[in-house]
Structure 1
Amino acid sequence: MFTHMRIARPVINLDNAFLMYSQGLGLKKIADFSDHQGFSGIMLGREDLPWHIEFTVCHHHPVQPLQTNEDLIVLYYPDKAEWEQTCGRMRSAGFTPVSSFNPYWEVNGRTFMDDNGYRVVIQNQAWG
């Protein structure tokens, strides 16, 4: 049985991650923790979503974010106006538009990179 999904990623700066993802994707802080066994973190999501994103910082042994051009979070926006608004918010929040490594995502989507190098695809179509 599927209940909920968490995407966990190390970042350099929790405040920047919070600002970018809350402003760009409209996510809210749903939980946070400070210096829990050497880690601090924040979880962003919404009550209507079956997933959330957790960003963490390790205080004792800093972890550098590692990613590839194919490590993606893909979000589907079938409504064109909502898709365009979301792409605009992503740019305003500080995400950098980048070319997708996989040309499939260029057909109906836009790929954005955050300040840790993580990529988010805003796809203008329905899932499935």
Structure 2
Amino acid sequence: MIVNAQTRVRVARPSHDLVAAERFYVEGLGLDVLWRTTERVSGEHDLVMVGPSDGTWHFELTHDPEHPLEPTPTVDDLFVVYLGAPVEEAQVERLLAAGGTRVPAHNPYWDEFGVTVADPDGYRLVLCSRAWSH
């Protein structure tokens, strides 16, 4: 089998402001900084990787100052976190204080079972009160 539960996964997204994106995911959501570029190298992207320090996945947030890409999220580009418990208002407030914007979900299912917050680049995070089950 090529992919299984232990397979490492990276999701890469462009960001127009890495500092703002890092603040949202670290201070707001509580992820760890796993790695970041520490010096500018011509021809290479600036980036920061965030995720749980013991996880098998992470976000790579990138910015290419020489050829910047504008993030182009749609209303259905979602990062869903299944909490298995009610969404705490304090968590939502941390996300908002860290640069997020609470938005209505495109799919009403997410409003029924969670809260949707857009990150500084417009990508949507859903905190879902349901537990994951397959």
TM-score (normalizing by structure 2)? 0.87
Report what 1:67 is aligned to: 73
CA distance in 1, matches of 2:121, 2:53: 26
Q: How does 1:77-88 map to 2 (within 5 A)?
A: 77-80=83-86, 83-84=87-88, 85-88=90-93
For residue 110 of structure 1, the aligned residue among 104, 115, 122 is 115
Q: How many residues get paired?
A: 126
Matched AA of 2:9: M
CA distance in 1, matches of 2:93, 2:46: 30
For residue 55 of structure 2, the aligned residue among 49, 54, 61 is 49
Matched AA of 1:52: H
Greater share of residues in helix: 1
CA distance in 2, matches of 1:71, 1:43: 19
Say which SS state the counterpart of residue 74 (structure 1) adopts: strand
Report how far residue 48 of structure 1 moved: 3.0
Report what 1:76 is aligned to: 82
Unpaired segments of 5 or more residues in structure 2? none
Report how far residue 9 of structure 1 moved: 0.5
Unpaired segments of 5 or more residues in structure 1? none
Contact 2:14 2:71 in 1 (8 A): yes
Report sequence identity in percent. Answer: 37
Report what 1:89 is aligned to: 94
Report what 1:125 is aligned to: 130
Greater share of residues in strand: 1
Report how far residue 32 of structure 1 moved: 1.0
| Cα-Cα RMSD | 1.4
CA distance in 2, matches of 1:22, 1:38: 24
